[in-house]
Structure 1
Amino acid sequence: MHFVRTMFTLTTLVSTILFCPIAANAEFRTDALRAKIEALDKKSGSGRLGVGLVDLTDGDSWSWRGDESFPMQSVYKLPIALAALKAVDEGRRNLDERISLGREDLSIQWSPIAREFKGEPATYTVRQLLEHALQQSDNTASDVLLRLVGGPGSVTALLRRHGIDGMRVDRPEREMQPEVLGLPPFRPEWTNEAALTAALNDLPQPAKRAALAAYLADGRDTATPKAAAHLLAKLARGELLSKPTTRIFLDILAGTRTGGSRIKAGVPEGSTVAHKTGTAMDVLGIGPAVNDAGLVTLPERRQLVVAVFVAGSDSSPAERERLIADVTRAAIEALR
């Protein structure tokens, strides 16, 4: 019964996102919204706050630092998943296609697939890889999908073909994460969390500090808040994929298990959220990236895209997440 109720909720969410009646006279009260976001920006401490909003009822949009680039971290799994589902639409891939993963496929840092690996090849369908990458933010699943769609250049080219500028995918997780943390290039033993922790403990602070500064200035694997909101708005309108594949994408996003204290914490009771988070491991008390981007359906069935990026903040992890929730709350209040 729990499975049936869950599937009903997801189907209802997707149908609402795709087919909600259009409300008239929907717009952001920009003066009030700007004042609130400006105040919230100051709570990021040493960091930068970026916000992209789109009201799906009429396309009205608003942004804060909307044209600045922010490190995506796992929000970049959204365009990777888009490329995989585009390949499904075009017949180049199949959701039930079985992919065998060996030790050589495992990635660094957060990966339930790597954690559960028993030494023998394990098989996952493309659908399961999408669920792992989006719902659990599994880095191994993301890297395998990235390889299946032809690599980072193919993903960025797809974004450009659909008019999504200001977002780019450049590296698999196994290349990106060591650079963020100041480590040498990827080593297979780092798929073990204890070995990764030991390697990080051996790094001198100046190396970590230099890596953090370089990452925050790096244009690779970044998005502007406008671009992230634009992607999700196009997805919700059915402009990127076929209707059945759009449903699948949104179904998976509705089951995301991460980031309960971010966008989800800022919506009123009775709302639904389909979203993707992104988080970098803290470096010397700094959060390189704490992000969330999603589709919010309010109880009155108004729909809002919310993309929030917090880069380089020295506030506590809980405060960074609370900041995203507060931005979401302010956006919804501005609509009402």
Structure 2
Amino acid sequence: MERFTRLQRAMMLAGLAPLGVVGCVPAAQQPAPRLSAALPAPTYRVAVPVPPPPPPPPRALAPTALVTTINGLADAFGGRVGIAVKSIDDDWMVAKNGELALPQQSVSKLWVAMTTLDALDKGRISLDQSVTITRSDLTLFHQPIAALVKDGGYTTTVRDLLQRAMTRSDNTANDRLLKLVGGPASVNAFIADRNLGNIKFGPGERLLQAGTAGLQWKQDMAMGRAFEAARARLPRDVRRAAFDGYVANPPDGAGAAAIANALARLQRGDLLSPASTRWLISTMESSKTGRARLKAGTPAGWSLGHKTGTGQDFFGRTAGFNDIGILTAPNGKSYAIAVLIGDTSRPVPQRQELIQNVAAAVAANHR
């Protein structure tokens, strides 16, 4: 027993458990086993290859021959000319000087008509609403409705005024609509609200034409040929300065590209209600003005809804000789066209020929 004790002591000093101790610890003194925390069930993620989205279809390109023709027509004509052709269906555009702000003249009646129809869409007016025109509403130049205005005035409807403005380019009819919808500020607000871009509406027919001539407007200029007489009395240098100032920075200036884009959006139904869109385009298709412009270059079987614009002359120069419209082929494809001649001394037949040739080129390159 003494030997065993010595042996145990020696083992303990050597760091070894005594023989009698190994495996002899009572169960009550053994440490409780540590329970490991439950592990979450393993998850497996399988990478499934996702194919990339298909590339967008290639954007249709304008016919090369049309691009060449439009550039050639503008270059050969010379002067301040802007031309734009927009495919309403295929969304391509051909433009030459398309961003150049040029005088619209009566082309701007289109924006008055749109503003009026927008007010109709919002329930503010109706086409059959009565409107009275008095002598204080008369303007100048082309105003056939003036012959109907007697001492008691002439009462008609919004529909009639729109038709006169858009199909006969009646200045007084247009300015009366302008007054009805809230003046130039309302038209410019419509243009801005629809994001039509490089398009301005001027101060109205009377102030626009008086400023172009170098005159201060007086209402008695609306009677007979009083405006022309007052203009003729001005010194030539006064008239030239006013004319040059208008051409350089027209308050009714617009780019041909912006007008073509606006016409395309009109046709697509982006600007007005479906009913107002149909009404306006059909009214433009019945236009009586500009038979020697886009209309003369439109082939048989095609339809054209358009609006012309013609400015004042100054010793052979004209500040604005224009035509814009929607040209539709027999198969239903449509093109928006804007041809703006901002300042030219070319004879009228040559101006008309330029505009005709643009329409003919569009038709010739139609597919």
What band does the TM-score fall into relative to the shorter chain? Answer: 0.7 to 0.9
Alignment partner, residue 76 of structure 1: 108
Query: In the aligned structure 1, how far is the partner of 2:365 from the partner of 2:235?
Result: 46
Query: In the aligned structure 2, how far is the partner of 1:306 from the partner of 1:128?
Result: 26
Alignment partner, residue 278 of structure 2: 247
| TM-score, reference length from structure 2 | 0.81
Alignment partner, residue 268 of structure 2: 237
Going from structure 1 to structure 2, the CA distance change for 1:123 and 1:195 (only over 3 Å counts) comes to same
Going from structure 1 to structure 2, the CA distance change for 1:129 and 1:331 (only over 3 Å counts) comes to same
Match of 1:275 among 299, 306, 331: 306
Alignment partner, residue 172 of structure 2: 140
Q: Does 1:314 align with 2:350?
A: no
Report SS of the residue matched to 1:235. Answer: helix
Give the drift of 1:241: 1.0
| TM-score, reference length from structure 1 | 0.88
Q: Give the length in aligned residue pairs.
A: 310
Alignment partner, residue 28 of structure 1: 62
Alignment partner, residue 185 of structure 2: 153
Deviation larger for 118-127 or 67-76: 118-127
Are the aligned partners of 1:99 and 1:123 in contact in 2 as well (CA < 8 Å)? yes
Unpaired runs of 5+ residues, structure 1, are: 1-23
One-letter amino acid of the counterpart of residue 73, structure 2: L
Give the drift of 1:202: 1.6
One-letter amino acid of the counterpart of residue 93, structure 2: S
Query: In the aligned structure 2, how far is the partner of 1:219 from the partner of 1:153?
Result: 17
Report SS of the residue matched to 1:277. Answer: strand
Large movers: runs of 4+ above 4 Å: 24-27
Going from structure 1 to structure 2, the CA distance change for 1:272 and 1:165 (only over 3 Å counts) comes to same
Q: Does 1:296 align with 2:327?
A: yes
Query: In the aligned structure 2, how far is the partner of 1:143 from the partner of 1:175?
Result: 11
Q: CA RMSD in A?
A: 1.7
Report SS of the residue matched to 2:290. Answer: coil
| Greater per-residue helix proportion | 1
CA displacement, residues 95-117 of structure 1 (integer Å, 9 cap, x when unaligned): 11101111101112111112443
One-letter amino acid of the counterpart of residue 275, structure 1: H
Deviation larger for 65-74 or 55-64: 55-64
Match of 1:64 among 86, 93, 96: 96
Unpaired runs of 5+ residues, structure 2, are: 1-57
Q: Does 1:37 align with 2:65?
A: no
One-letter amino acid of the counterpart of residue 234, structure 2: L
Are the aligned partners of 1:41 and 1:48 in contact in 2 as well (CA < 8 Å)? no
Are the aligned partners of 2:74 and 2:96 in contact in 1 as well (CA < 8 Å)? no
Are the aligned partners of 1:95 and 1:125 in contact in 2 as well (CA < 8 Å)? yes
Are the aligned partners of 1:212 and 1:283 in contact in 2 as well (CA < 8 Å)? yes
Give the drift of 1:25: 8.6
One-letter amino acid of the counterpart of residue 100, structure 2: E
Alignment partner, residue 288 of structure 2: 257
Query: In the aligned structure 2, how far is the partner of 1:25 from the partner of 1:302?
Result: 17
Query: In the aligned structure 2, how far is the partner of 1:107 from the partner of 1:196?
Result: 10
Alignment partner, residue 4 of structure 2: none
Alignment partner, residue 12 of structure 1: none
Report SS of the residue matched to 1:148. Answer: helix
Are the aligned partners of 1:27 and 1:335 in contact in 2 as well (CA < 8 Å)? no
Query: In the aligned structure 2, how far is the partner of 1:115 from the partner of 1:181?
Result: 25
Alignment partner, residue 50 of structure 1: 82
Query: In the aligned structure 1, how far is the partner of 2:125 from the partner of 2:290?
Result: 30
Report SS of the residue matched to 1:95. Answer: coil
Are the aligned partners of 2:74 and 2:83 in contact in 1 as well (CA < 8 Å)? no
Are the aligned partners of 1:75 and 1:278 in contact in 2 as well (CA < 8 Å)? yes
Larger Rg: 2
Query: In the aligned structure 1, how far is the partner of 2:352 from the partner of 2:224?
Result: 24
Alignment partner, residue 199 of structure 2: 167
How many percent of aligned residue pairs carry the same amino acid?
Answer: 36
Give the drift of 1:43: 4.2
Match of 1:305 among 322, 336, 344: 336
